[in-house]
Amino acid sequence: MSDERFRVGVDIGGTFTDCVVVSSTGRSLKGKVPTTPEDRSIGFFNSIDSATHGTELTLDAVLRSADWIVHGTTVGTNAIVSLTGARVGLLATAGHGDCLFVANGRGRLPGRAPEQLLDLVQSSSKPAPLVPKTMIAEVPGRIDKDGEVIQPLDEARVASAVRDLVAAGAESIAVSFLWSIRNPSHEQRVQEIVAELAPEMFVCCGADLVKHLGEYERTTAVVMNAYIGPLMVRYISEIEDRARDLGYIGDVLFAQCAGGAISAAEARRAPILTVNSGPVAGVVQSQGFGHQIGESNLITADMGGTTFDVAVVSGASNLTREITELGGYELALPMMDIESVGAGGGSIAWIDDSGRLNVGPQSAGAVPGPACYGRGGTMPTVTDADVVLGIIPTESYLHGDFTIHRNLAEESINALARPLGISLMAAAAGISKIVDAKMADLIQRMTQYRGHDPKDFVMVAFGGAGPVHASRCARDAGLRRVVVPNPVFAPVWSAGGAATADVTRVLLEPLVAQVPDQAGVLQKGFEELEARAAKAFGTEGFNFESTKFERYIRMKYVAQIFDLGIPVPYELHTPESMDRLLADFIEAYLIRFGAGSEDPSGIIQSTGLELRATAMMGEAPSLLRSSSGVSAVPDITRRVYWDELSEVVETRVIKATAGDADLSGPIVGPALIDFPDTVIVVRPRQTATSDSFGNIFIDL
Amino acid sequence: LPVKLPDSSSATFDGIIRSHEVDFSRIAPGPWDGKVQSYIPPQRLRIDPSVQFHEEFTQDLDPVTYEVLRWRFWNINVEHNLTIKRISNNMIVCYMDDYNTWLLTENGDSLLGGPSVQYFTGMADLSVKYTLEHRSIDGGVQDGDVFLHNDPFIASAHQLDVATYAPMYWDGKLFCWIFNAAHQVDLGSPTPGSFVTDAVDIYDEPTPWAPIKLYDRGVRQDATWDAFARQSRMPQSVTLQLRGQVSGINTVKRLMTQVLDEYGPQVVKGVMRRIIADASQAVSSRLLTVPDGRWEESYFVGTAGQLRRVRTVMTKVADQLTLTNDGTDEQGGPGNGTYNSFRSGMLSAGGAQLAWDQMYCPAGVLNHLRFEPVPGLLTTANYPAAVTVVTMSIVSMYHSSQLLSRMLESGPRPLLARVNATGALSSGQASFVSGLNLEGQFAVGLVGDGAVGALGAFGDRDGTDTGGHWWWPRASSGNIEELETSIGPVLFLYRKELPDSGGPGEFRGGNAVTTAFVPHKALTLDHIILGGDPAINTSPGLAGGFPGRTGLWLGSEKLALNGGGDGFRLPATRSEIDQAATLRRIKSNTTASLGLDAVYVNEAGGGAGFGDSIERDPESVLNDILRRQVSVSLAQTLYGVVVSGDVIDLAATDTRRAAIRAERRAKSDEPVMPAPADVVLHEVQPFGYGIALGVTGAGDRMWACRRCSHALTYASLPFRDGCRLWQCLPSEVEGFYVDHREFFPDVGYAFRRWFCPDCSAQLAAEFCLTDDPPANDFQPLAGTKTSATSGGSHE
């Protein structure tokens, strides 16, 4: 029997389910199958099976020898976006049951990009309610901002409300009371009452889920948690049961939105933590990849069909944010800070009322998709433009699942070019340039405008369309280099991130303390959080080697409003450590907000603590190994229009039809490197090289 | 473009503005120089020749460069916007977004503004033009200068909105202007926060500062900074926010320098000019789809025991709109507006309703507006009128949007979707609390209900409950937990949506919010109430839709609570408060100090409705009931929909609606000038949502009911002359509006409903003074075509 052990990562997206299997012996396998929306667990195991194709392994064999299976899932996200979650009953503080509806008066525009606000501020509506008012029960009981009980909980009213909600068909119950973050006793008592009256009911409480000051965002989080709770509990069981049937004896873990993985038990308790976990896993994978290639300042760029998702990975600040948008709601949830712009391969190019050429944010999606797919789409898209320009080959793309119809792409782009009075090629080049500019603007907003020098950053480009557009948008944003991780794995990058994820808990605690005077309060706060995290890991029964704690303090000038998360990789016992904390804060503040932005009164305080606790499971096998495969296909050429040269040029194309790419020396652009499911574009005057892991570097 | 622009279009095709916002021959003599009468720039600015402008630009732009740079400008301005928010420590800026940023051309044409409060929109260009005119002498405008001003008679809603702005130079020539304005937390005056609710004139308020330099050729003018901050109770905050504003300007300069380096000045300026040209052409083409005519909007603001009339008349000819505030009451008391506010309202509404896809480009909109301000009125007050309460600036936003909506009712469907009846809190109702906690610490802050708002109904859909405001994209009331932490020693009993507060209509107005709070762990607590009395100034409806329900400020010195035992219960609804306290109404523009056992209640007025409420789809009414947005009783009384459980009783609904029509006939008076009985109309075309124009056999044009085509009266008369009129006290409308007489006992205030004499459709519904002549809010210009023949119809 082989000693080979595996870690398995599976990422279910809207169109494809990706799998990466990394082995203790150094090999990495990937699988990609269509997502099975009717029962996603089918696609889950199909993807693992697909990864074994062409090897001696089987699905059963992999599962029998797997140490971990980590799953990034969109089940929860999809249920929220498509409003197909459970019928939730909400118990709220008397007088405050409407907080999801009032939404602080800003319920119409969460998550909308600034450029959409002026149009939408008059024309937009609120999202459909996740809980109808008839399923909200207000119960007497009031705690004030100091945590003092002003009015006792009316337990009789709670009991009758629970019975009423159950009778009205509640499938899960959310509890969210004012100031439960200061005193959770009322919420906890309600949870007990629900457990007595409806033992099978999925129930969750606001403060138990997230310690966030602000009842609207906290209530949204707990309601969404209850909304996807029953569905996720079922789903998790299906995956676990089937894995067990196939011989897997370990735990199925779930990728979480703050990075890392959580246990199945935690995912059952707090399924909301799994939303957006796929893109986040990609960022985490990039972080580890950055260490491997010796780069600590990264821009991760994931370009799919609809959006371009960007995260900044830098040692100078933490990566999580407390508030995010989902389904038109704002919710409090520690989530990795990823920003998006509506620019992807499927983004539609169109002419507005003023005769201007626009690209996005509408997308042709997977169905019907770009015109060139020949699936009935007629609207010109970014992918169509790339086909017309000659960048995307017609013979094979996206696993060869689609035949690319150049004539359809031309037809769609021509329909734009004619009214604009420009040539087919000029229109295609224009579409490509506009989408690249949008992406560059987003990167600039996240680097230069936040005080980072873009020249200090390297872009890690993944996702199907990422490598196609990376080299220009990165150049325009002022970055110095693009790295496309081994293009065999770049299209399944998030699954790779899942496969190598560690079990992680992110704990937030609001804590106002003066810096540097209250060092003890901060230190004690962290110690309590660390004890909580360690206890949680212990009760989950993982066999971990050690626990890693990363501390961040959210800090601000007393007089100012916005705070920053400052990493604190040191104890806070000594005056020297507090001096260092102050210096770190001021340095980060000036970088972020610019010279002269600090408050001269100089009083600095903490607003909260964040602890990222990781159960270290031993060194994760690396996804990328020294390349053994060498591209054996001789170079060919393709006629490509290059905007920089204003002409069509017979362009060198390196075909990497299988295995890893070894460029055997620098490639000077213009050039293309074709892979089965993506194309790496080396623009004029850029140079591409590869390393022994099959990663491709483009110097801009 | 929606229509091909004719040669006669007044749109600019190169982005140079050649027409002017005021024809000085048609308005009162000046000087309109910002001293007594507000500043209005002359058509040709009087600028010292020492200022060298960079005016050259190319029109030969490729579409891709244009699109790339258009969004680059937008992003740079957004960064300008965010920079201020990050540095400021003012909650009104940071949470409520009460500020904005702009980019302007070299001569002060306002190119684009940021996504913050829009009522600043008219401020930027006036400020720059004034500065060019009045500060350029002897080299007074230079590279490296940064100016400050907060003079409402030059261009500011009130003194608290402080502008900082700077010219940007390229190759030694003035290339563009960078401008921002932000609400300051306190600038002195007897009232903390500087909203002086009892101001008689501006001498009771913070001193306005005409443009003065914060930086002179890059050198910081410390004396100016010190003097400006010195007037405030919170000088450090004032200075910090100003630093944020200057930092924002420097950010834009840095980023624009990169753009200029990359693309060159001629291309960059070419893009700026084309943005203006595109916006102008879009506005022109949209206006040309609407028939020419004259529209009028008039409503009342209740303050200091008086009803003050605000009136604007708009005349549209081709693609030009001319606006006058003639007929508005004379200035007086707190909360006046200046010319800046008057034009800001129409510039902002024009942006939202005619240039929504053009980044609102103010200069492009302004190219189609002509103002005929009458000096000395509430909305165009002369110095030294009091302005800090800012009521007229808010009124101007809604008033302008309502007026444009009346016109756009006659437009094609894309424009009908932009028709928006007035939203909640339309006369600037807002309140602060201030007080000492048990540790003796002082706090003051906004209660936040104003930001919750509600959208009025649209021409094709319902408004939005607690949906904010159309002109305030990022407003936030804050969480209750945040408010209880920061605004003062209070505990909120409830904050909830207020069912039935939205104006009934075929499309329902959005419901507003209600809150109640008590002093908690307090040594002192005051409730400072601003704006027009909510019992008077409701949100006017459109096309026969009801105005939003009126609101109330309420309070009681004594909320009876029974200790803290198990039987103790905090009230969580209005009826529970009524069992424990005797609420009385509180006037607007007062400071209520009802003691430490007090309770305060705010019931905000709702958004207005659109169209006749008994034409509303009964299914929609049922959904309203099931969602607890409309009560069963209101459904029956004003919508005529009868439900049984969760099912519509169709027969009872038909009966009820017939009864409502019968009641309308029974309680209304005959038309004063009905059409001849036997008249038959031809070529009936819509002119507005509920009414139409037709031609008699004799060639006379007549108004008609659009629902039944019944001829109303001659088109030269107000269509109301051909309608039946039901006039009553507002409080007699099925209990929907509160009784105004407690605070306004001597005012003849009435509610009028106008019906088709034939089918009894409700064609208009409005508040007015008892003996006002019929409003004349729709009037076609002689010889104009209706929408169907001029390019569009919503049928």
Mutation site for A-interface testing, chosen from B69, B83, B88, B89 by largest number of A Cβ within 10 Å: B89
Chain B residues within 8 A of A177 when measuring between CB atoms: none
Residue A350 has pLDDT above 60, yes or no: yes
Condensed to tens digits (0 to 9), the pLDDT of residues B233-283 reads 989 889 989 999 999 999 999 999 999 999 999 999 999 999 999 999 999
**What is the interface size between A and B, counted as CB pairs within 8 Å?**
253
Residue A448 has pLDDT above 80, yes or no: no
Do B67 and A559 lie within an 8 Å CB cutoff?
no
Do B564 and A150 lie within an 8 Å CB cutoff?
yes
* B-chain residue closest to A127, CA distance: B464
Strands (E), A270-338: 298-303, 308-313, 320-326, 329-336
Q: Which of B94, B353, B461 sits opposite A561 (nearest CB)?
A: B94
> What span, in angstroms and rounded, lies between the C-alpha atoms of B786 and A641?
51
Cis before residue A368, ω within 30 degrees of 0? yes
Cα separations in angstroms, A626 against A148, A694, B62:
61, 7, 47
pLDDT confidence tier of residue A224, bands split at 50, 70 and 90: very high
> What span, in angstroms and rounded, lies between the C-alpha atoms of A499 and A7?
6
Do A441 and B75 lie within an 8 Å CB cutoff?
yes
Helices B265-287/B339-354 angle, 10° precision: 80
Any idea what DSSP says for residue B424?
A: S
Chain A residues within 8 A of B82 when measuring between CB atoms: 449
Tell which residue, A693, A688, A659, A692, has the closest CA to residue A675.
A659
**Buried b vs exposed e over B59-80: b needs ≥16 C-beta within 10 Å?**
eebebbbbbbbbbbbbbbbbbb
Residue A430 pLDDT: 94
Q: Identify the three-state secondary structure at position A351.
A: strand
**Average pLDDT of the residues in B287-311:** 91
Do A217 and B479 lie within an 8 Å CB cutoff?
yes
How far is the alpha carbon of A49 from chain B, nearest alpha carbon, in Å? 46
Other Cβ atoms within 10 Å of A12 Cβ, number = 27
> What span, in angstroms and rounded, lies between the C-alpha atoms of B318 and B327?
25
Do A102 and B491 lie within an 8 Å CB cutoff?
no
Q: Which of A114, A123, A559 sits opposite B240 (nearest CB)?
A: A559
Residue A399 has pLDDT above 80, yes or no: no
Residue B183 has pLDDT above 90, yes or no: yes
How far is the alpha carbon of A436 from chain B, nearest alpha carbon, in Å? 9
Residue B787 pLDDT: 42
Mutation site for B-interface testing, chosen from A91, A108, A117, A123 by largest number of B Cβ within 10 Å: A123
More confident residue, A646 or B164: B164
Condensed to tens digits (0 to 9), the pLDDT of residues B573-617 reads 999 999 999 999 998 888 899 999 999 999 999 999 999 999 999
- Bridge partners of residue A680, in order along the sequence: A673
Tell which residue, A497, A453, A505, has the closest CA to residue A314.
A453
Listed in sequence order, the residues at least 6 apart from B264 whose beta carbon sits closer than 8 Å to its beta carbon are: none
Residue B521 pLDDT: 96
Q: What is the mean pLDDT of chain A?
A: 87
Residue A621 has pLDDT above 70, yes or no: no
Mutation site for A-interface testing, chosen from B480, B561, B577, B626 by largest number of A Cβ within 10 Å: B480
- Bridge partners of residue B306, in order along the sequence: B303
Do B63 and A122 lie within an 8 Å CB cutoff?
no
* A-chain residue closest to B357, CA distance: A119
Residue A630 pLDDT: 39
Any idea what DSSP says for residue A100?
A: H
How far is the alpha carbon of A499 from chain B, nearest alpha carbon, in Å? 38
Condensed to tens digits (0 to 9), the pLDDT of residues A640-696 reads 999 999 999 999 998 875 555 566 778 898 999 888 778 899 999 999 998 888 888
Answer yes or no: are the C-beta atoms of B540 and B509 closer than 8 Å: no
**Average pLDDT of the residues in B121-125:** 94
pLDDT confidence tier of residue A619, bands split at 50, 70 and 90: low
Residue B658 has pLDDT above 90, yes or no: yes
Residue B713 pLDDT: 96
Tell which residue, A49, A91, A466, A508, has the closest CA to residue A279.
A466
Does this model's pTM top 0.90? yes
ipTM here: 0.93
- Bridge partners of residue A549, in order along the sequence: A613
Residue B117 pLDDT: 93
Helices A575-593/B63-87 angle, 10° precision: 140
How far is the alpha carbon of A378 from chain B, nearest alpha carbon, in Å? 22
The pair of structure tokens assigned to A567 is 């990493």
Q: Identify the three-state secondary structure at position B402.
A: helix
Chain A residues within 8 A of B485 when measuring between CB atoms: 145, 213
* A-chain residue closest to B118, CA distance: A118
Least confident of A196-200, A391-395, B705-709: A391-395
Chain A residues within 8 A of B455 when measuring between CB atoms: 122
> What span, in angstroms and rounded, lies between the C-alpha atoms of B691 and B410?
9
Q: Which of A95, A356, A597 sits opposite B493 (nearest CB)?
A: A95
- Bridge partners of residue A341, in order along the sequence: A308
How far is the alpha carbon of B278 from chain A, nearest alpha carbon, in Å? 6
Measured over the CA atoms of residue A106, residue A109, residue A111 and residue A112, the dihedral's sign is negative
Q: What is the mean pLDDT of chain B?
A: 93
pLDDT confidence tier of residue B41, bands split at 50, 70 and 90: very high
Do A105 and B464 lie within an 8 Å CB cutoff?
no
Condensed to tens digits (0 to 9), the pLDDT of residues A121-146 reads 888 889 889 999 999 999 999 999 99
Do B474 and A117 lie within an 8 Å CB cutoff?
yes
Chain mean position to CA B495? 24
Cα separations in angstroms, A92 against A148, A172, A180:
18, 14, 11
Residue B794 pLDDT: 34
Residue B380 pLDDT: 97
Which ranges of B627-694 would DSSP assign to H, the alpha helix?
A: 632-637, 650-667
> What span, in angstroms and rounded, lies between the C-alpha atoms of A515 and B116?
33
> What span, in angstroms and rounded, lies between the C-alpha atoms of B105 and B279?
15
**Average pLDDT of the residues in A561-571:** 85
Helix (H), strand (E) at residue B727:
strand B724-728
Tell which residue, A75, A69, A67, has the closest CA to residue A499.
A69
Strands (E), A337-397: 339-341, 347-351, 357-363
The pair of structure tokens assigned to A474 is 């990165």
Do B247 and A594 lie within an 8 Å CB cutoff?
yes
Do A122 and B481 lie within an 8 Å CB cutoff?
no
